[in-house]
Structure 1
Amino acid sequence: MRVAQALSSKQTDEFAKPGRLVEVRFVKGQSLSLTASRLLALMILTAGGDAWRDVPHRMRKADIRRGHKGNERISDMLEELHRTLFAEDDRSWRGRKATRRFSLIQMSKEEVEDEDGAESGWIEWEFTPDARKLIQESETYAVLNRQAVLGFRSSYALKLYEIGALRIHRRQPTWRCDITALRAALGIAPDVYKDFAQLRRKVLQTAKSEIDQLAHFRVEWKETRQGRAVAEVEFRFEAKDAPAQIGTVDELDRHSAGRRARREGTVEQLLIETPDTIAPVGKAKGGTTPGAVARAATDDEPSGERAAEVSSIVKQLAGRMNASDAGPRPKFASFPSGSLRWLGGEEFLAVGRSHGGGWDIDMIAEAYRGHMGDRLAKLSGTKLQKSWQGFCESYVTRKGRPT
């Protein structure tokens, strides 16, 4: 709960869910729908470090609805949370092994008269004593991302994401279970996916594809067989490297429309015919660049020889740009020595803007030149492009994003 309080004070998308609440299993034949699972996650997020206290918690309906205009589904979700039972291993009054069954929500109120419009509606709820005790006594926690939780389209993927987030930072980030425990943990009804091949295709593979796209880790699993039947499954959760995590953050910031197509690689690309070369720019005689011309033109009003010199430079540059023997400049032929915003650095500027995380592109370029040294002169073409892009991504990883 101290961790939950600390995360809440930072006002970020991250929140803590108690480990025992993650590991609690559904009673056989019961499970939460995706929308109800999301609502429960939002309740944990909203309650924060006070989730274990015997006090009511409140949340705006607008924070639940997201893009939907109506509130009709909120009542269904609350009722589903009330009637769903969870189970946990316990001891009886005689000290024998027992199964304890309980619900998580004991009371909820939903405003039905929104005098100021739908945006002003609120809900109020209280956790059951069993739920509060479970939350208070939990010694482990999973750090979840609100955008990721709301981005999942499979309730099984969301549940496996929570299990992975609970284990990712352990010395052995694995979870091993038999098929019965797997079905209970994910809430898979006993009458569906009876064949493991179906369960693998419809549940595990779907969950993996979503987790690999939206979570800060990846998931793999290994099946152990007894004869021809799968007896156990061992899941392994592996943290993503820095470039992959940046890609995940970018994906979470994008609209959910088209997310599945991007995941499956079936996005239709808009192709615009562009040459692999840049229109010739060239330097004026004596190595004068357009930047030099710009600086000269912005100096004090030229007069006499100074004015004649500026006029000559402009004419030479214009003549060079229009010369019949000035061939096109290959893209990424060499890294510019000056500002990437000058003519001749367009392709490098575009890469910096896409992968530089909002930092000043010329500042990254200066750091890149210092990092590469003499090696920079040996790179060109695709190798130079990938080297520059990789440095921009690593720069953001080291520095974070500018505030």
Structure 2
Amino acid sequence: MDGTADTTGRTMEVARIEKERGSDTIVQPRELVEVRYARGVSLSLSARKVFALMMHQAAGDAWRDQEHRIAKRMLRGSHNSNDRLTETIDELMGIFFAMPDKVDGDHGRRTFQMIEETFEGGEQGWLIYRFTRRARDLLKDSEAYALLHRATVLAFDSKYALELYQLGALLYRRDVPIWRGDVETLRAKLGVPEGAYSSFADLRRFVLDAATAEINQLVPQFSVAWDVAKRRGRKVIEVAITFRRKPPIAAVAAEEENERHRAGRRARRDGTAETIMDPSAIIAATAANLGVSDVLRWPADDQVTEFGAVELHAIGVTYGGGHAVQRLADQYARVRADKRRQLRGDALREDWTTWVRGCAEKWSKP
């Protein structure tokens, strides 16, 4: 075999390095982040978690035509007592993925499976698996990737949050960290089954808002906010999803939440239970960490960013229900046309917080 046969893209090289470091970072190829589910069927949350762990274990060797093995004990936390590992493996074996491809100049859609075969040992044994030829080719040539935190992947309660997390991890470092697409494309990307949440009100409540809230609670790297990008009359046509780096204190809060027991997590997310660090403490610490002046003022250009208007932005992220902070700011500037320039310090802080809470509550209603 010549030297070029072992040449891989950047993704497999980074995965190899992370594995050698003993890192808990999962290197997920861009192609697997962007791939869609075929036949209107998507993976369960347990299957998505198990597959991520299998990718992490195979790491830089995932592209090779060889067996990989992972101790079944390492898969604990990816499924519960009512979701047997055997059933999850069967699900992974049976799922089909689809992606655009070209053969001899003819553009079309390629459908394929990721896993060729598995062997599941006894209760304390191994799971042995091999990727399909098509999957190996895809992994070998991959040049871009998303870096996922293993603890965060295992902490999710929503399969849509996990799928959106992977997309955000791929995009948030870019100059324009925004995904935009029509509603049907979004449904396919997140793996929403055909016929489920057919109205946008249900899709917003049970998929977008739920996934956004969970990501903003659990993900250390970035926060997420979505907005309607295009309407036709009252019908929502396109959605824009923005991913922004989290301020240091918010990242620490997410890491701490990952380490906490999942019991009570939903209540902490909804603000109906005590938290280790309350929102006001996060806002104050964020402002102090980034050197905000002692007198809070509304920005002259009406741009509420995490760097230019740190405390105002932190309030928007904390109380905004996952909605884009700048959208909140634009509405505030329009309604408070004169007042926003007059308010200072605590008066502005209180008025902005009340506004953000009110919009979050109003916009969350179907």
TM-score by length of 2: 0.69
Equivalent of 2:117, from 97, 107, 110? 107
Alignment of 1:184-199 (within 5 A): 184-199=188-203
Equivalent pair of 1:28/1:190 in contact (CA under 8 Å): no
**SS of corresponding position for 1:7:** helix
Measured after TM superposition, the shift of residue 151 of structure 1 is: 0.5
Structure 2 distance, partners of 1:28, 1:217, is 32
- In 2, Cα distance between equivalents of 1:129 and 1:261: 45
Cα offset, 1:171, TM superposition:
1.3
Q: Which among 236, 251, 258 is matched to residue 252 of structure 1?
A: 258
The answer to whether the 8 Å contact 1:25/1:86 transfers is yes
Q: Distance in 2 between matches of 1:229 and 1:192?
A: 18
Distance 1:198 1:136 in 2: 39
Partner of 2:170: 166
| Structure-2 separation of matches of 1:44 and 1:258 | 30
Q: Partners in 2 of 1:78 and 1:269 — Cα distance?
A: 36
CA drift at 1:96: 2.2
**Is this contact kept in 2: 1:108–1:124, CA < 8 A?**
yes
Give the 3-state SS of the residue equivalent to 1:100 in structure 2. strand
Alignment check: 8 A CA contact 1:8 1:15 kept: no
Higher relative CO (CA 8 A, sep ≥ 6), structure 1 or 2? 2
Partner of 2:224: 219
Look up the equivalent residue of 1:5 and give its one-letter code.
R
Determine which of 267, 273, 296 is the counterpart of 2:273: 267
- 1:32-181 pair list within 5 angstroms: 32-66=43-77, 73-93=84-104, 95-111=105-121, 114=122, 118=123, 120-181=124-185
Q: Does 1:229 align with 2:254?
A: no
SS in 2 for 1:234: strand
CA distance in 2, matches of 1:137, 1:176: 26
Q: 2:213 is paired with a residue of what secondary structure? A: helix
Distance 2:56 2:275 in 1: 38
Matched residues in 1 for 2:265 and 2:24: separation?
20
Q: Once the 2 structures are TM-superposed, how far is the Cα of residue 268 of structure 1 from its aligned partner?
A: 5.5
Q: 2:245 aligns with which of 239, 252, 257?
A: 239
Which residue identity lines up with residue 110 of structure 1 in the other structure?
E
Query: Which residue identity lines up with residue 270 of structure 2 in the other structure?
Result: E
1-structure distance, mates of 2:53, 2:136: 16
1:36–1:78 contact (8 Å) kept in structure 2: yes
8 Å CA contact 1:2, 1:49 repeated in 2: yes
CA distance, structure 2, for counterparts of residue 226 and residue 72 of structure 1:
42
Cα 1:252–1:51 shift into 2, 3 Å: same
Matches of 2:116 and 2:214, distance apart in 1:
32
Q: CA deviation at 1:225?
A: 0.8
Q: Name 2:26's counterpart in structure 1.
A: 15
Unpaired stretches in structure 1, ≥5 consecutive residues = 271-350, 356-403
**1:234, distance to aligned residue in structure 2 (A):** 1.1
Total equivalences in the alignment: 269
Report the AA paired with residue 73 of structure 1: R
In the superposition, relative to structure 1, how do residues 231 and 213 fare at CA in structure 2: closer, same or farther (>3 Å)?
A: same
What is the correspondence of 1:274-285 to structure 2 with a 5 Å cutoff?
Answer: none
Output the aligned Cα RMSD: 2.5
Q: Deviations over 1:52-96 (max 9, x none)?
A: 111111011111123979697111011101111100001244x22
- Separation in 2, partners of 1:184, 1:268: 37
Q: Is the 8 A contact 1:61 1:71 kept in 2?
A: no
Hey, what's the Cα distance between the residues in 1 that align with 2:98 and 2:192? 14
When residues 173 and 129 of structure 1 are mapped into structure 2, their CA distance, relative to the original with a 3 A threshold, is same
Please report how far the alpha carbon of residue 131 of structure 1 lies from its aligned counterpart in structure 2 after TM superposition: 0.9
Contact 1:28/1:189, CA 8 A, preserved across alignment: no
Higher alpha-carbon Rg:
1
Deviations along 1:202-233, whole A, 9 cap, x unmatched?
Answer: 00000001100111211111212122211111
Structure 1: distance between partners of 2:17 and 2:77: 25
1:86-130: CA deviations, max 9, x gaps?
A: 00001244x22211000100100001xx4xxx3x22110001111
Deviation of 1:10 after TM superposition, in Å, equals: 2.0
Deviations 1:23-79 (A, max 9, x none): 001114110000000000001110111111111110111111239796971110111
1:242-295 C-alpha deviation (Å, 9 max, x unpaired) = 11111111111211221111111112689xxxxxxxxxxxxxxxxxxxxxxxxx
Identity of aligned residues (%): 44
CA distance in 2: counterparts of 1:153 and 1:172, whole angstroms: 28
- Mapped to 2, the partners of 1:191 and 1:205 lie a distance apart of 19
Task: Please name the residue that 2:335 is paired with.
Answer: none
Distance in 1, matches of 2:163 and 2:80, equals: 27
Partners of 2:141 and 2:274 lie apart in 1 by 50
Distance 1:235 1:268, change over 3 A: closer
**Hey, what's the Cα distance between the residues in 1 that align with 2:77 and 2:250?**
27
